[in-house]
């Protein structure tokens, strides 16, 4: 019985390596290293101010696309507001960096006038 033990250990290692290689082949590297996001670091450098609130995600996406065309950084976020009854209220916030506030407000007013 003891003479079969090394053979069983080697067989177990081979099965483990084959399973690991199959997983690596099908799903890629099991622990990929994510690249750092330079935009995320840039977001943290200055304070952001909400300039608009809407209940429509589509409207917020249109506004973000318009601002991206004009090279103004912006973020859309879901607000966690609750009503008196405790139910969540729809609210999508739109924020820009403080350094771009005046330009962003002017563009926002033009965007809303065009929309009417």
* pLDDT one-digit tens code per residue, 15-62: 998 888 887 777 665 555 545 555 555 556 778 888 888 888 888 898
Give CA–CA dist 110/71, Å, rounded: 16
Do 25 and 55 belong to one domain? no
Do 19 and 44 belong to one domain? no
- In three-state secondary structure terms, 46 is coil
Counting the structural domains of the chain, the total is 2
Do 73 and 25 belong to one domain? no
Do 4 and 50 belong to one domain? no
Do 81 and 55 belong to one domain? yes
Q: What is the CATH number of the domain that holds 68?
A: 3.30.70
Residue linked to tokens 């005046």: 102
The upper half-sphere exposure of residue 111, i.e. CA atoms within 13 Å in the direction of its Cβ, equals 19
Domain that holds residue 17: 1-33
Do 87 and 42 belong to one domain? yes
Segment holding 97, helix H or strand E: strand 92-97
Tokens of 105: 């407000």
* pLDDT one-digit tens code per residue, 68-106: 888 888 888 887 766 677 666 668 888 898 888 999 999
């Amino acid at each position: 019985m003891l003479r079969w033990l090394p053979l069983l250990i080697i067989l177990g290692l081979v099965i483990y390596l084959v399973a690991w290689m199959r997983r690596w082949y099908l799903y890629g590297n099991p622990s990929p290293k994510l690249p750092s996001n330079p935009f995320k670091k840039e977001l943290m450098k200055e304070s952001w101010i909400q300039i608009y609130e809407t209940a429509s995600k589509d409207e917020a996406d249109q506004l973000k696309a318009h601002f991206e065309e004009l090279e103004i950084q912006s973020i859309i976020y879901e607000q966690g507001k609750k009503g008196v009854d405790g139910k969540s209220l729809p609210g999508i916030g739109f924020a820009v960096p403080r350094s771009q506030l005046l330009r962003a407000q002017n563009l926002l007013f033009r965007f809303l006038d065009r929309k009417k």
